[in-house]
A and B are shown apart, each in its own frame.
Chain A
Amino acid sequence: KNQVEQSPQSLIILEGKNCTLQCNYTVSPFSNLRWYKQDTGRGPVSLTIMTFSENTKSNGRYTATLDADTKQSSLHITASQLSDSASYICVVSMNTGFQKLVFGTGTRLLVSP
């Protein structure tokens, strides 16, 4: 079954600290892996997209890694800010002739002052 699992489910960190979110997937055939940030009451916004051949990608203070062999990804947030408080969703795109996204349930991050 095509699934994307994320951990932890929720996380509270102090402002300025770093954190790492995990994603494991069983989606096949794999096309790419995305991390989205979803603020409360808003739609998801893309942070990074990685294809099979890309094993790391950065977007400012966000750095995503991908290990396609073990089917794992992580999102590292450096020097967290209050505005980082949001849900972070790992999404794997299947290639079935066209791309179809399989969403994880997300990690809810709260950055505390």
Chain B
Amino acid sequence: DTAVSQTPKYLVTQMGNDKSIKCEQNLGHDTMYWYKQDSKKFLKIMFSYNNKELIINETVPNRFSPKSPDKAHLNLHINSLELGDSAVYFCASSQNLGTSGTHNEQFFGPGTRLTVL
């Protein structure tokens, strides 16, 4: 009964390849996110989707293309992988977008460690 799941857990690939990471949540949440955690363990938002609609795109290169077929899924496709893309990518979800004064807790998946050689 995993709340937020990601596949694969590990991904090793060559520079220039295209790869996808899948994310699914069974919490009935409206909002999903992708975060990147670099080698210094710093987490940074990449995208957020609310009811399949893109809300946040934090100046991520257009080689990264999120796709939300339904509100329970938010997949991340990466074209022409570069060495700097090596990181751990976390998917997360929350009840909704959140408004001031509310908690709107985010639940994180286990992460996908991407290594680009």
Contact = CB atoms under 8 A, between A and B. Distances in A.
State yes or no: do A and B come from one complex: yes
B111 A42 contact: yes
Contacts of B44: 103
Interface stretch (B11-19, B63-71, B92-100): B92-100
A88 to B, nearest CB: 11
A75 interface: no
B56 A43 contact: no
Interface of A: 29, 31-32, 34, 38, 41-46, 49, 51-53, 87, 89, 93, 95, 97-101, 103, 105-106, 108
A41 B111 contact: yes
Given A43-B110, A49-B103, A103-B44, 16 more contacts: A29-B100, A31-B101, A44-B43, A44-B90, A44-B108, A45-B108, A46-B107, A52-B101, A89-B43, A95-B99, A95-B100, A97-B97, A98-B48, A99-B98, A105-B41, A106-B42
Nearest to A93: B98
A103 B102 CA distance: 18
Query: Interface size for chain B: under 10, 10 to 19, 20 to 34, or 35 or more residues?
Result: 20 to 34
Interface of B: 4, 40-45, 48, 50, 55-56, 90, 92, 94, 97-111
Q: Which 7 A-B pairs have the closest CB atoms?
A: A99-B98, A43-B108, A98-B97, A95-B100, A103-B43, A49-B103, A44-B108
